[in-house]
Amino acid sequence: MNAPFNFSAGPAMLPAEVMEQAQAEFRSWRNSGISVMEISHRDPAFMQMAAQAEQDLRDLMSVPANYQVLFMHGGGRGQFSAVPQNIAGPGDTVDYLNSGIWSDFAIREADKYVSKVNVVGGTELTPQGKAISAPETWQLSDNAAYFHYCPNETVDGVALHQIPEGIRAPLVADMSSTILSEPLDVSRFGIIYAGAQKNIGPSGFAIAIVRDDLLGKAQRNTSTIMDYSVQAKDGSMYNTPNTFAWYLSGLVFEWLKRQGGINAMGELNHKKAALLYNYIDQSDFYSNPIHPDFRSRMNVPFMLADERLDSAFLKQAAERGMVGLKGHRYVGGMRASIYNAMPLAGVEALVDFMKDFQKSNG
């Protein structure tokens, strides 16, 4: 059976080559006769693999030497609480941009750990669609412990493509659905974090890239496994890490290097997104509600002219080998998530199907 093109938002499609390699060595990792899941995380072979995965991620993202790369537990939401606990005090104010559903969840979580979450701005409806309010209008606090935003809102399909300028507080970014998808200047950030299940590997795992000067500030009640300083000191092995997720993420990093790294990925991702948005824009059968400057290149929500056709669309897409297209329950319609592992051929197949569906139903 041919594997379908999987447009799921996360857990999401992983590169076929990575899955094949993992399958080939599943019962006998590096000819050891046992699985990578069955050996100690202190075993020299595992430690070497873990260090290589970190190095590969550092190479891919050009992470400067004064940043720690941490492999954390608890996915993206784990970081929603780790961030305020690690770099803000209970009496502090923190600034958040609210650009969509995931920003909103992050705000509600941070509110448990600090004195005030100041929401600096959000989205607005313009004649060209939903946009993020202009930075000049953001109501920044005088002394925020940090500024948090989500550059790519996975559910809303809204993205902020420019790194905010002129913000004094350390920038913290939830890059769960955009990490590794295009070049990025890591040095602009205090912390970058991401749940793994979109562009990295299995769910429940997370990466946090933390600037050294932000270590050592954790609130007293921070659980030890979520304490960046402890995890930095212990090489992300304070407790037993998710060894399989670490291994699989390492395979994805190797794969990314073979594809030509993040520059090559960025070009391909621009191409994939443009193909889909251009088709949607010229059609009067499909629509995308986001202002062109704020459209996500990873998650493309779209509506059919008549929502009564949604279930037929999904059924026929599945028959043509395309799955995971149902929109998030908060938004409805469709959503095509086109992360790194989605080949251009997958987006081409989707556009071809959309044309055919329009022809027979438009």
Q: Decide: 182 and 266 in contact? Cβ < 8 Å.
A: yes
Closest residue to ligand PMP, based on beta-carbon distance = 75
Is residue 310 part of the annotated active site? The answer reads: no
Nearer to ligand PMP, 195 or 266 (CB): 195
Residues lying near ligand PMP in the complex (CB under 6 A): 10, 75-77, 102, 150, 154, 174, 176-177, 195, 203
Tell me the pairing of strands 93-97 and 147-149: parallel
Minimum distance, C-beta of residue 154 to ligand PMP, in the bound complex (Å): 3
Active-site residue (options: 102, 138, 246, 255): 102
Is residue 112 part of the annotated active site? The answer reads: no
Minimum distance, C-beta of residue 148 to ligand PMP, in the bound complex (Å): 11
Active-site residue (options: 104, 174, 246, 255): 174
Nearer to ligand PMP, 196 or 230 (CB): 196
Nearer to ligand PMP, 191 or 304 (CB): 191
Minimum distance, C-beta of residue 239 to ligand PMP, in the bound complex (Å): 18
Minimum distance, C-beta of residue 176 to ligand PMP, in the bound complex (Å): 4
Minimum distance, C-beta of residue 10 to ligand PMP, in the bound complex (Å): 5
- Report angle CA 120, 126, 128 to the nearest 5 degrees: 130
Nearer to ligand PMP, 46 or 327 (CB): 327
Furthest CA-CA distance within the chain: 62
Could you tell me the strand order of the sheet in which 147-149 lies? 67-73, 205-211, 191-195, 171-174, 147-149, 93-97, 116-121
B/e letters for 118-148, b = 16+ CB within 10 Å, e = fewer, are: bebbbbeeeeebbbbbebeebebbeebbbbb
Nearer to ligand PMP, 198 or 272 (CB): 198
Place of tokens 């986001």: 290
Is residue 257 part of the annotated active site? The answer reads: no
Minimum distance, C-beta of residue 43 to ligand PMP, in the bound complex (Å): 27
Tell whether the torsion through CA atoms of 326, 330, 336 and 338 is positive or negative: negative
Q: What are phi and psi of 8, to 5 degrees?
A: -65, 145
Minimum distance, C-beta of residue 199 to ligand PMP, in the bound complex (Å): 11
Residues involved in catalysis: 102, 174, 198
